[in-house]
Amino acid sequence: MTENIGPADRAYRGVLRATGLTVLVVMGLVGLFLGFRAAQALRVAGWGFLTTEAWEPDAKVFGIATVLTGTLLIAAVAILIAVPMATGTALYISEYTSGWWKKLLITLVDLMAAVPSVVYGLWGFFLLQGHVIGLSRWISDYFGWIPFLAVEGVDPSDPLASETVYTSSTFIAGLVVAMMITPVICSVMREVFAQAPAGEREGAYALGATRWGMIRAVVLPYGRGGMIGGTMLGLGRALGETIAVYLIISPAVEIQPLILQNGANSVSALIALRYGESTPFATSALMAAGLSLFVLTLIVNFVASSFIARSRSGAASDA
Amino acid sequence: MLGESRLSDKLATLGAAAAALSFTALLYTQLTPFNGVFGFVVIAWLSFLGFYALLVSFDEDGPAVRDRVAAAVVRSMGLLLIGVLAVIVVYTVARGWKALGHKNFLFEDMKLAGPRDPLTVGGIRHAIIGTLEQIGLALVVTVPLGLGCAVFLNEIRGRFSRFVRTIAEAMTALPSIVAGLFVYAMLIMGLGFGKSGFAASVALGVMMLPIIIRAADVVLRLVPGTLKEASLALGASRWRTAWHVVLPTARSGLTTAVILGTARGVGETSPVLLTAGFTAVTNANPFSGPQVSLPLQTFEAVKSPMPDMIARGFGTAAVLMVLVVVLFVLARLAGGRAPGRLTARQQRRRMRASARDVLRFQGRRR
C-alpha cells in the first residue's frame, strides 16, 4: 500500500524498521561470531572434527564424534519415551476431559514446560536415578543380547553386584530430558488434536465408531503433521539441553554406545564442562562444537516448523 | 451419552485395580525375588490393563474392549505426567524445607557460611538480588525490542520483514548454552569485560529475545484486520492505529508472551554459568564483579557433597520454582484471552466510559 503519509508515520516506520534491523543485527552477530570464532579451530581440525573422539584442543586433537553421538543417543532415548507420553497426555486433555479440569491440566502442562532445567536435573540425580537403576539392571539382564542394551563389567548371576555401573548413563539422562520435552510436544499435539473437524468426528460416531475408533480414524490422521512437528520441536529442545544432562552424566571420553552403562556425554555438557579452559584456541574449538550443535538444532527446528505450518495456519506455538 | 460411565464400568475398574494390586503383591512377596517401587508400579499397571480388558470383555464386544483399554492407557499417561510434575514440585520443596525453615535463608548471603556451616547461617539473598537484576536488565532491552520487532513483522510486510521473521524463528533454536558461549567469547574474552551480572543479562536477553518475538508475533497476527481498517478509515495515522488499536487489543496476549519468556529466562542456568561467574557475597552492582543467580546458586550448591549445602541447593530450587509459578499465575491472570476479549471488570469499565460519552454527547447537543 502506498499512500501519502505524514512525518509522524514516516518516523514510526523508521523506528519499526530500526527495531527489525537491530534484532537482525543481534541475531546475525551471534551466528557470524560463532562461525568466525569457530573457523580457527575448524581449519586446524578439518573434516577430522566430525570423526575424532578425543577432546584435547591444546594437543590439536579434538572432534565431536563422542559428544555428538552422545547428544543424539540421549535425544533418541528422550524422544522414544516422550512421544508416547505426550501423545497420551494430549489425547487425554483434548478428547477425554472438559471444563475446569481441562483448563487446569493445560495450565499444569504449560507450567511443566517452564520448570527450570536445573530442577529437573536435581530430581533426576537425587530421586529418579536410585529408582531407575533396578530397571536398567533388569533390562540389561534380560535384553543384554541386544547390542546397545548390554552392560559391561557385571555378572548377571551375581545378585550383590555393584550398581554403580548403571548410574549416570545415557538412559537416565534421556529419561530426565524426556520429562522436560514431553510438555513441549504435548502442547503442540493438543492444539492440533483440538482442531480436528467436528463434522468428521460426528460422522465417525454416526457410523458407530467408539471413541477410540473415532480418535484413530479422525483425530490422529488429522493431527499427524502437528504430531511430527511437535516431536521435532521437542527433539530440538532435547539436543540443546545442558544442565540436567550435566548433573546426571559422568563424562565419557570415547563413544559410549551402551545406553545403560555408566558414562555418557553431550555437546552442551562438553561446553559447560570445558569453557573454563583459558586458551583462545580451546574456546574456538568449543565454539565449533557449539556451532555444530546450533546447526543441528536449526535443521531440526526448520523441519518442525514446516510440518507445523503445513498442518495448521497461522498460530505457531512456543512452550 | 459419551464420557458418562456406567456402574459396571466403575466396578470393572475397581475390580481390575484390586486384582492387579493383589497379583503384583503376590508376585513380589511370594513368587519372585523382585524388588523396587518402580518395577512394582510398572507390573501393577500392566496387569491392571490385562485384568481390565478381561473384565470388560465379559459383557462387551471387541471394539468396545479396545476402546476401554485405550481410554485407560490414555488416562494413565495424562495422570502420570501430572504425577511427575507433582513429584518434582513436592520433592524439591520437601528436600529444601530444612533450609527454607530458617529465616536467614532468604535474608543472608553465603559470605560467612562455608559448606560445613549449619543451615542457621547463610542464605541466598545474593542469588535473589542477582536473578532480579539480571532478568530486569534483560527485560529492559528485550521487551521494547521484541515487541517493536513483532509489530514491525506485522505492520510492514515485505521481503525484509519476512527475512527478519525467518531469522528470529531460526534463533529460537539457539541452545541456551551456545548463547552463553557467544557472550563469553565476545564480551568476556573479546572485549575484556569481566564476568558480571551484565554479561549474564546479555546472554539471557539473546536467548529470550526470539522467544518473545515469536510469541508476540503470533498474538499480533490474531488482531482482526477489520479493527485496523476501521481505525485507518477514521483517519487515524498508522502509528496511532498501532498504539491505540493494535497494541491494546492484543495486550493480554502480549503480556503473556513477555511473562512466559521471563519464566524461561529466570530458570536458565547454562548461559549464566558461563557468563556471571560465581561469588558467595552480595553484589548489587551487575556491572562489575561476579554475580550469582538462583539457578546458578542451586547448581553450585548441589555439586557440594555436604548435606547442608545440598539442602541449600534444594531450598534455592524451591524459591526458583515459587518464582516461576508466580510468573505463571500472573501470565494466566493477565492473559490467555483472545485479542479484544475483555474481563468482566474491563467490560464494566468500558460500559461506564461509553455511558459517560453518551451523557457528554447529549450535554453538548442541548
Check if the beta carbon of residue A252 is closer than 8 Å to that of residue A273: no
Q: Give per-residue pLDDT as tens, B146-155.
A: 998 988 888 8
Amino acid at site B96: G
- Please give the share of chain A, as a percent, with pLDDT higher than 70: 92
- pLDDT bracket for residue A156 (50, 70, 90): low
The tally of CA atoms less than 13 A away on the side-chain side of residue B339 is 21
Contacting residues of A for B268, CB less than 8 Å apart:
116-117
> What are the structural domain ranges in chain A?
46-311
Distance of CA B26 to the CA centre of its chain: 43
Contacting residues of A for B75, CB less than 8 Å apart:
92, 96
| Interface check B185 vs A, CB under 8 A | yes
Check if the beta carbon of residue B189 is closer than 8 Å to that of residue B253: no
Dihedral-angle region of residue A55 (phi above 0 means left; psi in -120 to 50 means alpha; beta otherwise) = beta
Contacting residues of A for B242, CB less than 8 Å apart:
12
Q: Is the predicted pLDDT of residue A161 greater than 90, yes or no?
A: no
Indicate the class that CATH gives domain B125-353.
mainly alpha
> What are the structural domain ranges in chain B?
7-100, 125-353
| Interface check B358 vs A, CB under 8 A | no
Among candidates B223, B211, B208, which has minimal Cα distance to B337? Answer: B223
Helix (H, G, I), strand (E, B) or coil at B351: helix
How far apart are the CA of B289 and the nearest CA of chain A, in angstroms?
17
User: CATH 1.10.3720.10: does it fit domain A46-311?
Assistant: yes
Helix (H, G, I), strand (E, B) or coil at A264: strand
From CA B206, how far away is CA B196, in angstroms rounded?
16
How far apart are the CA of A310 and the nearest CA of chain B, in angstroms?
16
Helix (H, G, I), strand (E, B) or coil at B259: helix
What 8-state DSSP symbol labels residue A149? G
Check if the beta carbon of residue B288 is closer than 8 Å to that of residue B194: yes
User: Which position has the higher pLDDT, B140 or A263?
Assistant: B140
- Overall average pLDDT of the B269-289 stretch: 81
Q: Is the predicted pLDDT of residue B9 greater than 80, yes or no?
A: no
Q: Is the predicted pLDDT of residue A3 greater than 60, yes or no?
A: no
Query: DSSP of B5-53, one letter per residue?
Result: --HHHHHHHHHHHHHHHHHHHHIIIII-----HHHHHHHHHHHHHHHHH
Contacting residues of B for A318, CB less than 8 Å apart:
172, 211, 214-215, 218, 260
Check if the beta carbon of residue B251 is closer than 8 Å to that of residue B224: no
Sign of CA dihedral B32, B37, B40, B42: negative
Within 198-227 of A, beta carbons closer than 8 Å to B belong to 205, 209-213, 215
- pLDDT bracket for residue B338 (50, 70, 90): low
Mean pLDDT (chain B, rounded): 83
From CA B251, how far away is CA B270, in angstroms rounded?
31
- Overall average pLDDT of the A83-111 stretch: 89
